[in-house]
Structure 1
């Protein structure tokens, strides 16, 4: 949806339950995630708004939840003849409004297997599966190698582990299908409590109805640091071109090699006593056919201060910008403050019930 082009103030109350889990007999596990709640803004006729710029990672989520979303997963682990199986089914629910236009879907449906005699330590899987990493405060998955496919991972490479997977989308509604292959080398020890991961992606789009599909290629290097001020630190350096997305997922099937993107992202998180939080710094450069180019960036963070065992105070501040070579500089400053009730005082404790006020300031070009 188009974003507003003037200063906005919004007061919202949201009920958010994340990482809910329960165990039952027969090894059936249930987990879930949900966000939603009532909202009001100072804009006449608008009950809720999203405040962000049109580029990945430029929308800070706290006090910026203009939709309803939930996902609910059932998983059952089994064992037969010395082989471990796990069957997973996840459904999801989405509504861009509070009470209408509901969409339902199957987010995941796959089976994984471990302990086969040809590769006892490897994990084989097949079906619709997610493989992604995000920065929570901007609700963006900087790697998102999800979809319908099959693969193997956890292959011991001596200095790390190796994985390989293939995915395919079908032609739909005139859109070309795309085949995508991934090779990963991960769990490479880089420093005390720090590990590296490298991902190479290759994509090939089908031709359909006289529209020729294009090839694509992508690379990601990641460093993940544990035990960092009670939290961790995550760095991505990424490149993609053609029909491969910068997040290493499916891109535009007809995008040629003139379509290129590179970006650098760093996101630390911490928990020092009662004070926890997460921050992000991002810079991204995009190029498209016809000489169109743009740069985007953001710097911001969310802090959480535990007041009592079940009461926190949250603050989130983000500064974002986007500059196309054929247009004006777009800027957005977004600030959210408010209390939250939770099961514990730490930043990551969920579920949370939040009451917040958001201030968003766009410049004229945005």
Structure 2
């Protein structure tokens, strides 16, 4: 019996070996990646006897140097498997980040060595090989945040949420993105606000739909983007089943964005540049232009300061935003300017006004000081003003000696000393001094 079983066993082993040979030859390689970002700084106000200074100017218009009183961190992890022969790939992504809204102002500006609340920002998977080209993805993620001005830390499109889509699909000589994104209009108010903006005025009960939506108010967004060389064009359609402000307010919207990035400083010299124009109506206007419901978008320029008021827009409201920004490299000097203008026309008056607008201009000159290794002298100047602010323009001037150690692999951690003069719309001014570390990897 044993002699009869032995040849059969050997045959079975041989067959399994032959069948598994292609799989072994095309066995996936795996890798783990760890990326992240953090900034931490301490800023003191001379007008407040050098006590802590928080939110003393809007960095997205005046420039970020010297104005980032909110510490922040993100830790991103990715596990990937790649098949060389087929070109297939699987990537599992997760990102943890500082949960500022839950921690309130103390989390955004606390300098003590205490625990800071952490939240899950991203959890999504990517597949290469499902579609003929590009990447198929699904889950909760940052999306559309590559339209970004780093000097002001302004994401002028941020379509983050939960959904699925395809990125970098090659078609017609260009690369295309398609996505469905859902995001929730939560009841979180402005940081430090005692109000409950998640319920409309006059809501003392949850019997009505408008009074009970709360955290269930879901925005459905459909996005299409096309990149052709230096040109980018994208469109987003939005639908909100229930607007908690009532029937007079919009439940749908559309927006479009076109940008041009020539790979030089507006064709004038070495560097980079982008010119961008956005247009939106209904839920694509006002605070909602370029945005879904995220904590960041609440506080971005033209923001409503809480998620509830982001949808205080009507079907006939129209907003246009135009921006130009870039970097110019001249010898030992680097110049990073940005200018922008946003205008909104209201279908009906808002706070007694038919329209509103704001504009800004800023520049960051940096002298690299080649005579001193790993040291540069940065400065930054910004001005912004808006219609109906009943005041003067806001100004900022910053000087920032900076130490940086390039790694040779991209990341270059920076440690800065900073002093800023800030003047607000009411004519009040202050001198802010501090130190900051800023790092990505």
Same fold (TM over 0.5): yes
Counterpart pick for 2:67 among 64, 81, 102:
64
In the alignment, which residue of structure 2 is the partner of 1:256?
A: 314
In the alignment, which residue of structure 2 is the partner of 1:271?
A: 329
Provide TM-score, normalisation by structure 2: 0.69
1:215-364 aligned at under 5 Å gives the runs 215-228=252-265, 229-244=269-284, 245-250=288-293, 252-253=310-311, 255-288=313-346, 289-291=348-350, 292=353, 293-307=355-369, 308-324=372-388, 327-344=389-406, 350-364=412-426
Cα 1:154–1:63 change in 2 (3 A) is same
CA RMSD, Structure 1 to Structure 2 (Å):
2.7
Counterpart pick for 2:94 among 89, 92, 115:
89
Counterpart pick for 1:185 among 223, 226, 229:
226
SS of aligned partner of 1:38: strand
Summarize deviations over 1:60-106 as a string: whole Å, max 9, x none.
Answer: 21011111101111112213694211111111114222236933211
Q: Write the distance in 1 (CA, Å) between the matches of 2:422 and 2:170.
A: 49
Indicate if the aligned counterparts of 1:127 and 1:150 stay in contact, CA closer than 8 A.
yes
Q: Which has the higher helix share?
A: 2
Matched residue count:
329
Deviation beyond 6 Å, 4+ runs, structure 1: none
SS of aligned partner of 1:57: helix
Indicate whether 1:159 and 2:184 are aligned: no
Cα 1:235–1:101 change in 2 (3 A) is farther
Indicate if the aligned counterparts of 1:166 and 1:181 stay in contact, CA closer than 8 A.
yes
Indicate if the aligned counterparts of 2:181 and 2:221 stay in contact, CA closer than 8 A.
yes
Counterpart pick for 1:203 among 238, 242, 247:
238
Comparing 33-42 with 285-294, greater Cα deviation is found at 285-294
Q: Write the distance in 2 (CA, Å) between the matches of 1:178 and 1:144.
A: 14
Unaligned runs of 5+ in 2: 1-28, 101-106, 188-213, 298-309, 429-441
Deviation at 1:350, TM superposition (A): 2.5
Indicate if the aligned counterparts of 1:52 and 1:60 stay in contact, CA closer than 8 A.
no
Return the index of the structure with the highest Cα Rg.
2
Q: Write the distance in 2 (CA, Å) between the matches of 1:345 and 1:316.
A: 25
Deviation at 1:305, TM superposition (A): 1.3
Q: Write the distance in 2 (CA, Å) between the matches of 1:44 and 1:276.
A: 34
Comparing 80-89 with 139-148, greater Cα deviation is found at 80-89
Q: Write the distance in 2 (CA, Å) between the matches of 1:157 and 1:52.
A: 44
Counterpart pick for 2:32 among 10, 28, 33:
28
Unaligned runs of 5+ in 1: 1-24, 190-194
